[in-house]
């Protein structure tokens, strides 16, 4: 083969030799010793991550350089800049993709360059914005560091940095972030400006690391207790947990598979061989008719969505609601389901916050929402009040009303109190489909009678008998069939008919979705 290649003209040899020398140096990252340390921790370098994640990659800013100076400003060596990025093919589609190089100054921002490559704005984010393609970020860095002042000869006021592009992208294209290693300070901040974030189980994520905490609070915490994956995925800072980098990359690909390239396009419908009229008789075994018996939300939703199509998001926090992406008849949809296994499905502040984030994301990318409601109310009790459950709950209602997408609600069992308004879209079509297990009201009859008629019961000659009589009366009134007859709920169906019915409504709703593309048109710019 080499014999067939024409000889390189002599005047080109020197130019190409220099090119190759520079390219080799760029490939060395922060040096063999630092690369080896990453490998010993079981981590990939940024170049290895990019090679693993992409099927094609065209690098930009390959030869941008960082001058490594000592504390007094004397040049020690030159290294590649601390961010690697370009145009990649990821999950079969074009993306802007990049990440901090932790082997170069712990991935600190490239304020030493004329133009940032990425990490906070920079070329990679401009590429996502201008071409309207998703942004995939590998987050490993400690944010800013003091060395930057040494390089510039002055310290800078941090608010000179622009965050505008990073926030703007949230309303334009899917933004995905993976944490492997340490993500702290500014890098942590950039991580949460994403629609989906995932971290490997041995990584850490925090506002400030243990040394900073010790200086501020006088106590040196263990880094995993401070910001290990268990902390970050339970606080909701990070959406999902991954076993390792392979798993994290696979989860990002999976997430992206439900989303369009940008908000001006339809979410990608995929062909399915799972018929909408697939018999789902066994769903009846999974819905307890005894309302004191809980069930796992996913045990029910799995009958309705296409087989193996559910991808859960935020499993470890706000567990009173389960959220995730799925397909029904191949149509990408957002699934929200009350989860009676946690707090009996009562919506607490964390569950509301998680739901808002998810609903906002579905609305942004035009994913219809199917809500499986079984909610005894907003959570009550001292912990709930301290966590500001009422405000978060009212925000959850607002986000669902504002959602620009069709919402289909399945009334599974309980629907009590204000929290019910956070399960449907009363200002849209408000399609609420009840199952015969459904029950609803301002308050459950047992609690409601006590609250509403305490005086009357007390004053009666036989309080016990009077209470029983009131209970009986209100139980009759609470019979959900009475509401069905009054058209106070849009439909009552056999649960076994649900998949085929929801699929038909979703198919019809696409006429609306297709003619409603573009950036979100939120009506109310202020959340309470």
Contacts of 358 (CB under 8 A, 6+ apart): 313, 314, 323, 334, 336
Among 340, 393, 448, 480, binds other proteins (CB under 8 A): 340
Interaction between residue 342 and other proteins (CB under 8 A)? yes
Among 292, 386, 455, 521, binds other proteins (CB under 8 A): 292
In contact, 186 and 143? CB cutoff 8 Å = yes
Nearest to 399 by CA among 349, 345, 362: 362
Q: Print the binding letters for residues 59-98 with other proteins: x by CB under 8 A, - otherwise.
A: ----------------------------------------
Decide whether 170 or 341 has the Cβ nearer to other proteins.
341
**Which segment (20-28, 240-248, 300-308, 338-346) binds other proteins by CB under 8 A?**
338-346
In contact, 423 and 415? CB cutoff 8 Å = yes
- Classify residue 151 by burial, with Cβ atoms within 10 Å: 0-12, 13-18, 19+: middle
Strands (E), 417-526: 431-434, 439-441, 491-492
Decide whether 383 or 442 has the Cβ nearer to other proteins.
383
- Compute the least distance from the CB of residue 359 to other proteins, in Å: 23
Among 15, 293, 475, 482, binds other proteins (CB under 8 A): 293
Interaction between residue 343 and other proteins (CB under 8 A)? yes
Decide whether 122 or 340 has the Cβ nearer to other proteins.
340
- Compute the least distance from the CB of residue 376 to other proteins, in Å: 6
| Helix or strand (DSSP H, E) at 204 | strand 204-206
Helices (H) then strands (E): counts for the chain:
21, 18
The CA distance from 427 to 401, in Å, is 6
**Which segment (167-175, 250-258, 275-283, 290-298) binds other proteins by CB under 8 A?**
290-298
Interaction between residue 119 and other proteins (CB under 8 A)? no
**Which segment (256-264, 339-347, 435-443, 486-494) binds other proteins by CB under 8 A?**
339-347
**Which segment (85-93, 211-219, 336-344, 464-472) binds other proteins by CB under 8 A?**
336-344
Interaction between residue 319 and other proteins (CB under 8 A)? yes
Decide whether 93 or 296 has the Cβ nearer to other proteins.
296
The CA distance from 85 to 98, in Å, is 4
The token pair at 41 is: 């921790």
Interaction between residue 341 and other proteins (CB under 8 A)? yes
The token pair at 365 is: 């990318």
**Which segment (70-78, 170-178, 214-222, 340-348) binds other proteins by CB under 8 A?**
340-348
Residue 114's CB is within 10 A of a number of other CB atoms, namely 6
Q: In a 3-state reduction of DSSP, which class is residue 367?
A: coil
Nearest to 309 by CA among 290, 328, 295: 328
**Which segment (168-176, 270-278, 335-343, 404-412) binds other proteins by CB under 8 A?**
335-343
Decide whether 385 or 459 has the Cβ nearer to other proteins.
385
- Compute the least distance from the CB of residue 215 to other proteins, in Å: 32
Decide whether 165 or 414 has the Cβ nearer to other proteins.
414
Strands (E), 315-456: 321-328, 331-338, 369-375, 407-416, 431-434, 439-441
Strand 321-328 relative to strand 311-313: parallel, antiparallel, unpaired?
Answer: antiparallel
Interaction between residue 154 and other proteins (CB under 8 A)? no
The CA distance from 358 to 373, in Å, is 16
Q: In a 3-state reduction of DSSP, which class is residue 240?
A: strand
- Compute the least distance from the CB of residue 344 to other proteins, in Å: 3
Among 268, 294, 428, 452, binds other proteins (CB under 8 A): 294
The CA distance from 490 to 434, in Å, is 8
Region 375-394 residues binding other proteins, contact defined as CB under 8 A? 376
- Compute the least distance from the CB of residue 281 to other proteins, in Å: 20
Interaction between residue 52 and other proteins (CB under 8 A)? no
- Compute the least distance from the CB of residue 294 to other proteins, in Å: 5
**Which segment (71-79, 211-219, 291-299, 471-479) binds other proteins by CB under 8 A?**
291-299
Decide whether 254 or 342 has the Cβ nearer to other proteins.
342
Decide whether 380 or 517 has the Cβ nearer to other proteins.
380
The CA distance from 292 to 260, in Å, is 41
Give the sign of the dihedral formed by CA 59, CA 60, CA 62, CA 67.
Answer: negative
Interaction between residue 346 and other proteins (CB under 8 A)? yes
- Classify residue 109 by burial, with Cβ atoms within 10 Å: 0-12, 13-18, 19+: buried
- Compute the least distance from the CB of residue 296 to other proteins, in Å: 9
In contact, 334 and 369? CB cutoff 8 Å = yes
List residues near other proteins by CB under 8 A: 292-294, 319, 340-346, 376
């Amino acid at each position: 083969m080499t014999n067939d290649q024409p000889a390189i003209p002599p005047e080109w040899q020197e130019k190409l030799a220099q090119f190759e020398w520079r390219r080799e140096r760029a490939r060395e990252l922060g040096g063999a010793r630092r690369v080896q340390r990453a490998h010993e921790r079981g981590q990939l370098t940024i170049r290895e991550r990019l090679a693993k994640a992409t099927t094609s990659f065209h690098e930009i800013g390959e030869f941008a350089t960082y001058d490594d100076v000592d504390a007094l400003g004397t040049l020690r060596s030159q290294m590649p800049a601390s961010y690697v990025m370009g145009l990649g093919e990821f999950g079969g589609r074009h993306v802007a993709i990049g990440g901090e190089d932790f082997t170069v100054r712990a991935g600190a921002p490239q304020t030493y360059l004329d133009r940032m490559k990425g990490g906070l704005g920079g070329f990679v984010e401009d590429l996502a914005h201008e071409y309207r393609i998703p942004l995939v970020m590998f987050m490993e860095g400690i944010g800013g560091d003091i060395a930057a002042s040494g390089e510039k000869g002055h310290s800078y006021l941090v608010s000179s940095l622009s965050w505008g592009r990073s926030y703007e992208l949230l309303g334009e294209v899917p933004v995905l972030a993976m944490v492997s290693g340490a993500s702290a300070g500014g890098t942590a901040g950039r991580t949460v400006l994403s629609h989906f974030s995932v971290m490997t189980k041995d990584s850490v994520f925090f506002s400030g690391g243990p040394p900073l905490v010790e200086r501020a609070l006088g106590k040196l915490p263990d880094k995993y207790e401070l910001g290990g994956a268990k902390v970050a995925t339970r606080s909701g800072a990070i959406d999902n947990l991954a076993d390792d980098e392979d798993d994290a990359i696979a989860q990002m690909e999976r997430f992206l598979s439900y989303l369009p390239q940008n908000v001006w396009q339809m979410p990608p419908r995929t062909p399915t061989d799972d018929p909408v009229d697939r018999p789902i008789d066994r769903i009846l075994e999974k819905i307890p008719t005894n309302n004191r018996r809980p069930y796992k939300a996913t045990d029910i939703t799995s009958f309705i969505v296409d087989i193996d199509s559910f991808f859960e998001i935020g499993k470890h926090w706000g567990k009173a609601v389960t959220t995730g992406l799925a397909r029904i008849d191949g149509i990408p949809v957002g699934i929200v389901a009350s989860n009676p296994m946690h707090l009996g499905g009562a919506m607490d502040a964390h569950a509301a916050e998680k739901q808002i984030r998810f609903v906002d994301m579905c609305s942004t990318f035009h994913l219809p929402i199917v809500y499986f409601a079984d909610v005894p109310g907003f959570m009550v009790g001292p912990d709930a009040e301290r966590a500001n459950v009422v405000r978060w709950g009212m925000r959850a209602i607002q986000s669902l009303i504002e959602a620009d997408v069709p919402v289909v609600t399945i009334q599974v069992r309980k629907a009590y109190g204000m929290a019910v308004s956070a399960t449907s879209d009363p200002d849209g079509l408000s399609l609420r489909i009840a199952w015969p297990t459904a029950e609803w009201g301002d308050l459950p009859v047992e609690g409601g009678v006590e609250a509403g008629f305490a005086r009357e019961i007390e004053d009666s000659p036989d309080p016990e008998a009077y209470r029983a009589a009131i209970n009986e009366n209100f139980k009759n009134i609470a019979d959900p069939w009475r509401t069905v007859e009054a058209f106070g709920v849009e439909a009552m169906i056999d649960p076994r008919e649900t998949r085929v019915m929801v699929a038909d409504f979703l198919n019809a709703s696409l006429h609306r979705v297709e003619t409603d593309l573009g950036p979100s048109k939120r009506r109310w710019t202020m959340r309470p």
